[in-house]
Amino acid sequence: MFVLHVDADVAGGSYADVSDEFATLATQQGWPSLPNASPCPPPDGSSDHMRRCLLSWSGLEAAGPRTVLCVPSKAIDAWLVAARFEDGHKLLGDLECNLRLEAQLGGLPKAERVKKTVRGYHENEKLITSQWSRVRQRCSQAERFSNEIARVEIP
């Protein structure tokens, strides 16, 4: 299986944010335009655009039978929040449309705080796995990803 991942908040950036050369390459290759963020909610607008970008960047017209696109809205941080916090937590509101989630996670009281580091996410990977059904319920793009994974047939 081949998983292509990008967070949907990338739709708010531009190729020129990387470099002028990259912007020129994007034009030459005919890649989908950026910025091209959609209003959120609903969470799938920018996610759908970034799915088209992933395919284009990869030179694909469509995902193959063993290729899965993973495009959280707005960022993968939403999946961590969905797994980690109980109903009623202040970060759960507008979860898939919150562009400030990373900063808000880092600003929580020390016992709840999660910094976006490799270590911080490794410390939470088992929690995300064990709470995956809750993540799927709270995040439509996690549900979409999970359904696409389930359709992959591995010999």
Nearest alpha carbon to residue 67 among 54, 78, 76, 77:
54
Q: Which residues contact 118 (CB under 8 A, 6 or more apart)?
A: none
Q: Please compute, for residue 51, the number of CA atoms within 13 A of its CA located in the half-sphere on the CB side.
A: 19
Domain residue spans in the chain?
Answer: 2-70, 77-151
- pLDDT at residue 122, as a whole number: 87
* Per-residue pLDDT tens listing for the chain (155 residues): 999 999 999 999 999 999 999 999 999 999 999 999 999 999 999 999 999 999 999 999 999 999 999 999 999 999 999 999 999 999 999 999 999 999 999 899 998 888 788 888 888 899 999 999 999 999 999 999 999 999 998 87
